[in-house]
Amino acid sequence: MESRKSQILVGLFVFSALLALIVLGLKASNLNQYAGKKTYKISASFNNIGGLKVHSAVKVGGVVVGRVEEIDLDKKSLTPKITMFINQKYDNFSSETSAAILTAGLLGEQYISLTPGGNDEILKSGDEIADTQSAIILEDLIGKFLFSKDSPPSM
Amino acid sequence: MLKENFRQLGENVLSVQASFGRAGLLLLQSIFTIPRPLKAARLLIDQIFQIGVLSLLIIGVAGMFIGMVLGLQGYTILVKFGADSALGPMIALSLLRELGPVVAALLFAGRAGSAITAEIGLMKATEQLSSMEMMAVNPVHRIVAPRFWAGVISMPLLAIIFNALGILGGYLVGVEWLGVDSGGFWSSMQANVDWYQDIFNGLIKSLIFGIVISWISVYKGYDSEPTSAGISLATTQTVVYSSLAVLGLDFILTALMFGDLH
């Protein structure tokens, strides 16, 4: 009798641990983004990707539609090349779509923002976005601002 | 005089070597024990009950409170920079990568490891182990192996429960009490916690801690001096050595797993 009780409690223990793992996976991590969603890949070249990382978000008007999969340097042109996968649900981006690397907030994480274009030709898996805008580097901006003044501010 | 010192040094080195050897042999015997399956499963389940289920209370309460403290302390710092939406990932990553496996392992060593050592040590002192041998029952199969395996199995399960309750505690303090936005709390957690990199690696950590703690516990009990002073020394050593091993291993594992992450 005692043994049966402990068996039930051990079963409950293992079960609750598995439940906790599932809750952690679905609620606290990115597991549900892996699960069985169909995606397709498109790529884009930028002059400067700033602080973009693998797994950074790809957004359209703030809605996350995909993630950055790979960051690489193009061997011929020596410019950064980014491969991203986009949810198959959104398979009707036109080939005029433009991509820009933006920052969430002033110092937040960087992400790729896609702006859909107007023509009828549609981006397919493996296509490259031609119209891109690089990340804004804060130091460059400050540098430009300082040197564009006619005379440096006198103390 | 000098000669005597050298002799003593050599003897100490040899006795440490010998005890590592005995510990290694005991580990091999416990791992590769091939008992009758049904009987062994029953022994194992009894031990998981003693070691795992009865540790649930302390693990759960500790996890909950550590999550709550993380929420409170994280909030007071993050809100100064207007970054309180980063509270979720901060709590989740500290728990899943470091605090969960380590604190659960330290509590486990104190709650279950010491009990294993004391039990086996007392069995040895009261000659229960030798009488088993006389009845042709192998005490390693009957006593040591179930406790070792129960510890190895229980530790990761306890660490998962610790993590989940810790995140729940952080949620209660951060969102319900201090008023961090609930949507931002969960979504930034999901954006920053990686299933494989964080949760799975944390589990691997706690599995390794489970193996080390169980090994030290059964070895210290099985190798203890069969006197009351010997058992008390063995129990103390179990807790001290397990805690030191967990903290030292944690640094090495963190450097291996998360060293190249930012």
Q: Give the DSSP letter string of B217-228.
A: HHHHHHTS-SSH
Quick one: B100 exposed, middle or buried, by C-beta within 10 A (0-12, 13-18, 19+)? Answer: buried
Please give the pLDDT value at position B40: 77
Distance CA B86, CA B5 (A): 59
Please give the pLDDT value at position B219: 93
Q: Do the chains contact at A30 and B186, CB–CB below 8 Å?
A: no
pLDDT grade for A59, boundaries at 50, 70 and 90 = confident
Q: Residue A154 has which token pair?
A: 């006198």
pLDDT digit string (tens) for A139-149? 888 888 888 76
Distance CA B108, CA B242 (A): 10
* β-strand partners of A81: A45, A72
3-state helix, strand, coil in chain A (%, to 5): 25, 30, 40
B17 lies in a domain? no
Distance CA B244, CA B261 (A): 25
Q: Residue B53 has which token pair?
A: 């289920």
B38 lies in a domain? no
pLDDT digit string (tens) for B144-160? 888 999 999 999 999 99
* Phi/psi at A45 (5° precision): -105, 140
Task: Give the global pTM.
Answer: 0.77
Please give the pLDDT value at position B107: 96
Check if the beta carbon of residue B61 is closer than 8 Å to that of residue B168. no
B262 lies in a domain? no
Distance CA A68, CA A55 (A): 5
Q: Nearest-CA residue of chain A relative to B165? A: A20
pLDDT digit string (tens) for A94-130? 888 888 888 877 667 788 888 888 887 888 888 888 8
Q: Complex ipTM, two decimals?
A: 0.80
* Residue B260 with chain A: CB contacts under 8 Å: none
B236 lies in a domain? yes
User: In what order do the strands lie in the sheet containing A57-60?
Assistant: A128-129, A39-45, A80-87, A63-73, A57-60, A110-115, A98-103, A131-133
CB atoms near residue B126 (< 10 Å): 11
B9 lies in a domain? no
B29 lies in a domain? no
Distance CA A89, CA B205 (A): 38
Provide the residue range defining the domain that includes B134.
Answer: 57-257
* B201-222 helix and B145-171 helix, angle to the nearest 10 degrees: 140
Question: Any CB–CB contact under 8 A between A13 and chain B?
Answer: yes
B30 lies in a domain? no
* Phi/psi at B90 (5° precision): -60, -50
Please give the pLDDT value at position B35: 58
Answer yes or no: is pLDDT of A134 > 60: yes
Query: For the stretch B129-149, what's the b/e string if a residue is b when 16 or more beta carbons lie within 10 angstroms of its beta carbon?
Result: beebeeeeeebbbbbbbbbbb
Residues of chain B with pLDDT under 70: 34-38, 260-262
Closest CA to A98 of A61, A129, A123: A129
Please give the pLDDT value at position A31: 66
Q: Residue B26 has which token pair?
A: 């005991």
* Residue A13 with chain B: CB contacts under 8 Å: 48-49, 52-53, 56, 157
Question: Any CB–CB contact under 8 A between A8 and chain B?
Answer: no
pLDDT digit string (tens) for B25-58? 888 888 877 656 667 788 888 899 999 999 999 9
Please give the pLDDT value at position B202: 92
Please give the pLDDT value at position A2: 64
Q: Nearest-CA residue of chain B relative to A107? A: B83
B23 lies in a domain? no
Q: Do the chains contact at B198 and A29, CB–CB below 8 Å?
A: yes
First-last CA distance in chain B: 56
Provide the number of structural domains found in chain B: 1
- Nearest by CB: A31 against B49, B167, B195: B195
Please give the pLDDT value at position B181: 80
Check if the beta carbon of residue B180 is closer than 8 Å to that of residue B125. no
Closest CA to B108 of B214, B255, B249, B244: B214
